[in-house]
Amino acid sequence: MKKLLFLTLLLTTCLIGFTQQRFSKSDIKFLQKKEDSLKVYSVKLLQGINDIDRFKADSSFTRMFVRALKTTNSFYYPFDSIESVSKIYAPDSSFRIYTWQMVLNDNVIRHHGAIQMRTEDGSLKLFPLIDKSDIMQDISDSVGDNKGWVGAVYYRMVEKEKSGQKIYTLLGYDENNIRSTKKIIEILQFVYGQPVFGDPIFSFEKDTVARAPVSRYIMEFKKDAGARLTYDDDMGMIIFEHLISETNEPKKKWTLVGDGDYEGFKWVNGKWLHVEKVFTEVTPDGQAPVPKPVNNTGNLLDDRSPLPKQ
């Protein structure tokens, strides 16, 4: 984790230095002005008074964002104040991916995004992401390009390699609907320079009951249950909570909640191999993890959480 934080800080420092050297004063002023306007529209995407207002905000935001990205070397401009839009650089800095959501109503949420490639001359090379998840028959097994994207807002990216091909694994969330939330493990790779999402490399061959591999892994669970999905750098694993049904109806995804156990995926021979139980130690009686105790001044005394924060 310390290594990741150091690399993040180093990358940020390098980008700031690059920005100061490569952007003209007029370009910086233009981008800052656009960012101020984009920030206003980005808030309306989520908080507009009705679906029409939010739709208009999304349309205006998208057009203005593309105009801003056409600025030379915009790849290195952080757009930090636009908090409702996720902005993640690939670990090798070959591209940056933007994702956000637009809430039409409690049961209809649309995702939007784009992949911006790093170019030698600083010109814009952009792949828009078109969310087609509402018309896909089997989301877990679909493989498609940027125009057949399974929408999500991404918060983490992990880079691996398979047969000389770079594989980017994305962790994201989807507010889904009024009853359930989804978290998604997505695969992204570039084939002949074009983005391809999904790859049947999630393997369950070592499970007690083996099943067919899937192209992406999707957790769906009770709204606000807060099931955790993260990548642990020290363990080199994707880790997520094991889900059970509160009502003994596992097919009803809106009844699923975490039960305190954790599953995972470990990168083995070019695929993500499912691990049914990550933590196998038996906790002695009286030593189970407990919530952080608080003293009478309101300060936290201890942290016994079994996993790092997401």
CB of 156 closer than 8 Å to CB of 88: yes
Sheet with 86-89, side-by-side order of all strands: 86-89, 95-105, 108-117, 126-130
> What is each CA distance from 239 to 15, 97, 127, 169, 229, in whole angstroms?
30, 23, 30, 13, 6
Phi, psi of 18 (to 5 degrees): -65, -40
CB of 152 closer than 8 Å to CB of 174: yes
Tell me what pLDDT residue 109 has. 87
Tell me what pLDDT residue 274 has. 97
Nearest to 222 by CA among 188, 171, 287, 175: 175
Tally Cβ neighbours within 10 Å of residue 300.
10
Mean pLDDT by 10 residues, the chain (310 residues): 52 51 86 95 87 90 96 96 95 97 84 97 97 89 95 97 95 94 97 97 94 96 94 96 96 95 97 93 51 45 40
Amino acid identity of 55? Answer: F
Tell me what pLDDT residue 6 has. 54
The dihedral formed by the CA atoms of 11, 17, 23 and 26, expressed in degrees to the nearest 10: 120
- Give 144: exposed, middle or buried? Use CB within 10 Å, 0-12, 13-18, 19+: middle
For residue 165 the two structure tokens come to 């091909």
CB of 184 closer than 8 Å to CB of 173: yes
| pTM tops 0.85, yes or no | no
For residue 286 the two structure tokens come to 């009286």
